[in-house]
Amino acid sequence: MHELKAKKIPSDKTEDLLRRQEAARRPAAAEKEKAQRARGKLLARDRIDALLDQDSFEETDLLVETRSEAFEDGRKPPPGDGVVAGFGRINGRPVCVYSQDFTVMGGSLGLAHAEKICKVMDLAIKALCPVIGICDSGGARIQEGVEALGGYAEIFERNVRASGVIPQISAILGPCAGGAVYSPALTDFVFMVEGTSHMFITGPDVVKQATGEEPEFETLGGAKLHSEKSGVCHFTAGSEHDCFRQIRELLEYLPQSARDVPKAPIPTDSPRRESALLDAIAASDPRKPYSIREVVREIADGRQFFETQAAFAKNIVVGFARLNGQVIGIVANNSEHLSGALDIDASEKAGRFVRFCDAFNIPLLTLVDVPGYWPGLDQESRGIIRRGAKLLYAYCEATVPRITVILKKAYGGAYDVMNSKHIRGDLSFAWPSAEIAVMGPAAAVEILRRRELKAAADPQKLRAKLTDEYVRNFASPFHAASRGYVDEVIEARLTRPRLIRAFQFLKNKRATAVARKHGNMPL
């Protein structure tokens, strides 16, 4: 065989390639880059470098240019069209990423810009790996009109197609306005940086014209608003580097795709570890709040709990932990806020988290201490019946291993909703301190023994006696256990080892879904 000789590429062609690449990598004027840094913001490529493993980024569509001619002075914008896209690695795992460049036409989205994002999303779906979008854009490019709007719609369609197939993460590191906000809203997790991230459908000027209100950027769409009130934001960060650190940490709890499971590192925490603190919490006054996060940490490997949406709907706590190395999703009522009662925000927050875990093969642990649904005209008028049902629907739909521990109160319909045996929770445990009933003992006694209390010489003493009797006879966990509604009443200190054994047993659980196109969730 003849040896193949490498064909020498003419130097002028190589130089032309290098010149084009350099122009595409540094498309903005120096003053625009300086202005970006003055705002405390990194450049688009610096963000990718900060997020990904060192030297792992492979760029796609570096030389793409807009096809539109509708720009001032007839000059075309620089190559790249205001977004950097490609694939790389995070902690050794493949990911796809795109980063909008605010120094190029304000990061505005035109057709070529959208096509670059769509292409990298398609790659992520094909390769079955997470996709991360870094958003910093002034919105749709006015010069490209309906083509820009069509570009947004193409992205939205891929967000929906990728939903439940691959993890989707959005980092809002600047403005994100108008139609642009719907892509992050369709993704699984949204990150924002305090002071520099803003999301809103209509900006302050339009709001002023339409309503007369004069909101500031922060009050209209800042990280604090969306993390505490709207629930749009799942994580806030003090800086962009902190944001990227959190994204890398989150990915450690997630699988590559719905066909995979989260990786399980070799555990260093004893699977037989007991907790005296849990015994103390179980023995404490049921009317006094306690830290549910402490309960979670006592159960979790290394006391590590990665909470999501911590500032929103504080009456329920959701997040990720590990049990003997295995990633689990945790949903827990928080007695320190609204007594742990379910309301609209808590139901929607927990319902979406349950559906995420079910989509990505993450087993669910539910820690129950719930007095019921939060009452009131506000909740009823805003649709607690319909919106509160979302959590019930999510649990009933979930086929991953599902284990419940009733810590203290489990009253009324909220008992059913919080992954009870009746909605096909796999295993249900209860602490000796648990109370399971139609309503709280005090309220039940007031209804059932009203006449006796009214006629009593010392109604307060009689009320205490009757309440104690009601708890023993009707609200005790042993009553529920005698009916098979609780599989076992366990000592609180043994919660961690018992859960590890239970999840290990359920590891190979298989559930067949009902044949249908899809259900009709009460959206």
* C-alpha–C-alpha distance, residues 118 and 130, integer Å: 14
- Looking at the DSSP bridge assignments, the partners of residue 131 are 96, 168
Alpha helices in 314-440, H assignment, sequence order: 344-359, 377-381, 384-397, 412-417
Element spanning 235, H or E: strand 235-237
Tokens matching residue 74: 């007839």
CB 405 within 8 A of CB 368: yes
180: its two tokens: 């642009």
Task: State both tokens at 27.
Answer: 């498309």
**By C-alpha distance, which of 280, 287, 346, 265 is closest to 464?**
287
> CA-to-CA distance for 244 and 46, rounded, in angstroms?
12
Distance CA 378, CA 384 (A): 9
Catalytic residue among 282, 414, 475, 492: 414
Distance of CA 364 to CAs 258, 274, 361, 444, 477, Å? 16, 21, 9, 32, 22
Q: Are 60 and 85 in contact (CB under 8 A)?
A: yes
SS3 174: coil
Tokens of 213: 């209100």
Structure tokens at 13: 């062609």
Listed in sequence order, the DSSP H helices in 193-239 are: 204-211, 217-221, 223-225
Which residues neighbour 233 within 8 Å (Cβ) at sequence distance 6 or greater? 172, 190, 191, 192, 199, 223, 226, 227, 309, 312
Residues 6+ apart with CB under 8 A from 270: none
Cβ neighbours around 214 below 10 Å, total: 11
Catalytic site residue from 86, 107, 138, 178: 178
| Catalytic (active site) residue 178 | yes
Residue 413 annotated to the active site: yes
| From 35, 127, 413, 443, active-site residue | 413
Residues 465 and 441 sit within 8 Å (Cβ to Cβ)? no
496 CB burial (10 A radius; 0-12, 13-18, 19+): buried
The residue annotated as part of the active site, out of 164, 179, 195, 325, is 179
414 annotated active-site: yes
Q: Which residues are catalytic?
A: 178-179, 413-414
